């Protein structure tokens, strides 16, 4: 499962919706076969729940003897979750994350409440609520300033193309 470019071996990679790059170079033949099979199935665009139940029922056999905790950290698990998410997005059952979701995750879940977050970092609570509820826009400068105070930063990443998935499936 390697691409050849000008005689040089290029590692075959899978890029998730989150921008995480997963190298398949050190994957076993069993893993590669499973991933190829799941990508081939994904390309037929089945319903997301059907796809989810299918891979979840089979992944244990690929990693026979491993604990569920360990299996949940494998490349196959990550890739199958990513493929399932793509189907969910395709069928309008879920959506891509945007900066508001990530900000909301930091504010509401990691800091526990908007009130606590806003007091700690001197942000107007009404303004933040309006931004998170899509009632107001926030400039990149303001967003960077808030994130910086909370110990986070903005990031730009490349989108994954469907063509790349087809290439992996066909290798």
Partner 1 sequence: MIIEIEFLVPIKEDRFAGNGELHPFDRWQWLEKEMYIRFKGWTRAPMAYNGVYEDEDTKEMVSDESRKYIVAIEKEKEGEVKKMLEEIAIEFRQKSIYMSVAGKVIFIKGVKKHGKQK
Query: How far apart, in whole angstroms, are the C-alpha atoms of residue 161 and residue 15?
Result: 9
Kindly state the helix (H) or strand (E) to which residue 141 belongs, with its residue range: helix 140-150
The interface with partner 1 within residues 78-97 (CB under 8 A) comprises 81, 84-85, 88-89, 92-97
Query: How far apart, in whole angstroms, are the C-alpha atoms of residue 73 and residue 69?
Result: 7
Least separation, in Å, of the C-beta of 160 and partner 1?
A: 13
Residue 76: closest CA among 65, 94, 90, 60:
60
Contact with partner 1 (CB under 8 A): which of 69, 122, 137, 163?
69
**Residue 110 DSSP one-character state:** I
Contact 17, 159 (CB under 8 A): no
Question: 56 vs 170, which CB is nearer to partner 1?
Answer: 56
- Does 74 contact partner 1 by CB under 8 A? no
The interface with partner 1 within residues 95-134 (CB under 8 A) comprises 95-98, 101, 108-113, 132-134
Q: Which residues bind partner 1 (CB under 8 A)?
A: 17-18, 47, 49-50, 52-53, 56, 68-69, 71-72, 77, 81, 84-85, 88-89, 92-98, 101, 108-113, 132-134
């Amino acid at each position: 499962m390697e691409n050849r470019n000008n005689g040089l071996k290029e590692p075959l990679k899978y890029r998730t919706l989150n921008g995480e790059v997963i190298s398949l170079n050190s994957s076993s033949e069993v893993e590669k076969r499973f991933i190829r099979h799941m990508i081939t199935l994904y390309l037929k665009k089945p319903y997301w729940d059907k796809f989810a139940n299918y891979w979840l029922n089979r992944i244990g056999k690929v990693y026979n003897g491993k604990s569920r905790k360990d299996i949940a950290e494998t490349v196959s698990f990550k890739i199958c979750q990513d493929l399932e998410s793509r189907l969910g997005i395709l069928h309008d059952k879920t959506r891509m994350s945007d900066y508001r979701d990530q900000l909301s995750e930091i504010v509401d879940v990691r800091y526990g409440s908007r009130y606590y977050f806003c007091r700690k970092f001197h942000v107007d609570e009404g303004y933040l609520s309006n931004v998170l509820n899509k009632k107001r826009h926030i400039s990149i400068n303001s967003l960077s300033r808030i994130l910086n105070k909370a110990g986070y930063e903005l990031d730009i990443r490349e989108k994954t193309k469907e063509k790349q998935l087809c290439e992996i499936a066909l290798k």
